[in-house]
A and B are shown apart, each in its own frame.
Chain A
Amino acid sequence: MIEVEHLSKYFGRTTAVDNISFRVEKGEILGFLGPNGAGKTTTMRILTCFLPASAGTARVAGYDVFTDSLEVRKRIGYLPENPPVYNDMTVRYFLEFNAKIKGIEPKQQKNRTEAVMEKCALQEVKETIIGKLSRGYKQRVGLAQALIHDPEVLILDEPTMGLDPRQIIEVRQLIKELGGEHTIILSTHILPEVSVTCQRVVIINKGKIAAVDTPENLTVLLKGSERIYLEVEGPVGQVEQKLKQVPDVTAVSVETGGNGKNSFFVESETKTDIRMQLAAAITGSGFGLLEMRRVGLSLEEIFLRLTTEEAEG
């Protein structure tokens, strides 16, 4: 349903999105997880045709966001970070206006307006001026606006930001109900949010995709894994063998270089520092340890920068 290939976006010298690729299948709820400034909003703005990409392509329902922008926009419901509402309109008038500009047939406009007000629990405030509503209600008006034309794809930028805990639960419940019928991408910088609502998670940091996985697997990763980079002089197979025998090592990957020097990435599951054991294993076997360091930007570090406490979100 959504295909993103080698997408990049530069703002002058800043690279907001750096060569990202991912796909979202029909009916799937994909979480876009990353700290502030990671490039989530920028990616979503490209998908919704608000910004053009600097490089790469993105397709929604088979249409290119750049060349077939109008077709894409017909099929997308978008809730930006700040709900795009007119503060001087009543909820009902605002939604009827949206029904018109989103190409709903005139006969259906009233029905659809009623339907989304029902779905987003806006009935009590339908004649209220939007400017007087609380943040939670405004957010729901924003969501109703995104849903009004029953779009195939929903793009929700931090949909629970600024809501109180009870509202957060309601909105998440609503999003879950919408999955299946709609294909959804939602962004968040709150870790628990993705495990509650999403089937798959893209972790993005500094414009790059750091990992794509299910929330369950990410929870395992979260328990603590560490990557260590080693450069070793010695026969690849034997070195690899030795490294794997070190306790707590979960995976070893190899990059062969020329002249007998090889690079290894060692992953361990627990938080205990295994560098001494690794060094001992290599030197003990008579291989030459040329370099060893922790690899920066492990998932762990990204997670640390995410908000893990619900209350802080």
Chain B
Amino acid sequence: MRNIAAIFQKEIKTYFTSPIAYVLAAVFLVITGYFFYGMTVTFSNECLYYMQYASRYGGMPPLNLNQRVIRGMFGLISFISLFIIPMLTMRLYAEEKKSGTMELLMTSPLRITETLLGKFFACFVLYAIIIGLTVLYQVILGAYGHPDWGPVFSGYLGVLLMGAAFIAVGIFASSLTESQIIAVVLGFGALLLFWVIGSAAIFTRPGAGKIFSYLSILTHMLPFQKGVIDTKDIIFFLGFVSFFLFLTVKVVESQRWR
């Protein structure tokens, strides 16, 4: 436990001393902020329009803040995570191998799993902080509107679980190579595959289609955005994380064998 904490602190410190975390957080805020602004303004214009409509003709179509703005925000956050996470994970192993500090970690009395968990949680916490910045938007919505808070919470839970899954894939990619560029490309490629694989279900045989859509991140992500927390989805993400962390341990172990 102490070892995991030591690696965790070191990784967090490295994240915050290098510009990458700040740059990514800034890019993330600019994009989400722009869309938040756009979606909210569109929504309020629609509301105004329909209010006039209602006063003239009576009756008002159901306009839902959750559906029109919040769900869209979570979709956007997930999509941006697809790009951000490989950039957060790329250096975790690749850089240690390139600079020779892997030799330090491997010859210190640390278990491979301890190093890995320290790195994983550090990246997860940084991701959670970046995602946490968007709570501001929810506060704004809460101040001027009446969102249904249930789907907001489930949305965040979903985004965090998905982030954990993305991070596990990203770390795995980083463990395969000494080059951060290759790590980021591999990580992004793999994530994109898990993102779109559900669409393949449309044109494959039903059996394979089922597997594909089960493996798709989106299949398990959408219920959270709608406010549905299903243990099956939680188990999927936790299993996904464990599987890729397990693969990473095996890769790091096997690199000793060469």
Chain A residues engaging chain B, CB cutoff 8 angstroms? 11, 45, 48-52, 70, 73-74, 76, 78, 80, 82-89, 93, 97-98, 100-103, 106, 145
> A102: which of B5, B17, B108 is its contact (CB, 8 Å)?
B108
A73 adjacent to B109 (CB under 8 Å):
yes
A102 adjacent to B101 (CB under 8 Å):
no
Given contacts A82-B100, A84-B103, A86-B14, are A52 and B109 in contact (CB under 8 A)?
A: no
Sorted nearest first, the 7 A-B pairs with minimum C-beta distance are A100-B6, A84-B104, A73-B109, A48-B107, A74-B109, A84-B101, A101-B108
In the complex, which residues 104-136 of chain B have their Cβ closer than 8 Å to any Cβ of chain A?
Answer: 104-111
B107 adjacent to A78 (CB under 8 Å):
yes
Chain B residue at minimum C-beta to C-beta distance from A11: B258
CB of B18 closer than 8 Å to a CB of A:
yes
CB of B3 closer than 8 Å to a CB of A:
yes
Q: How many A-B residue pairs have CB under 8 A?
A: 68
In the complex, which residues 1-43 of chain B have their Cβ closer than 8 Å to any Cβ of chain A?
Answer: 2-3, 5-7, 9-10, 13-14, 17-18
CB B135 to nearest CB in A, in angstroms, measures 30
Q: How far is the CA of A51 from the CA of B102 in the complex (A)?
A: 12
Chain B residues engaging chain A, CB cutoff 8 angstroms? 2-3, 5-7, 9-10, 13-14, 17-18, 99-111, 256-258
Q: How far is the CA of A88 from the CA of B107 in the complex (A)?
A: 21
Q: Which residues of A contact B14 (CB under 8 A)?
A: 86, 88-89
Q: How far is the CA of A105 from the CA of B105 in the complex (A)?
A: 18
Q: Which residues of A contact B5 (CB under 8 A)?
A: 100
B13 adjacent to A85 (CB under 8 Å):
no
11 other contacts beyond A11-B258, A84-B99, with CB at 8 A cut-off? A48-B107, A50-B107, A70-B109, A73-B107, A73-B108, A86-B10, A88-B14, A88-B17, A98-B104, A98-B108, A101-B6
CB A74 to nearest CB in B, in angstroms, measures 4
Q: Which residues of B contact A89 (CB under 8 A)?
A: 13-14
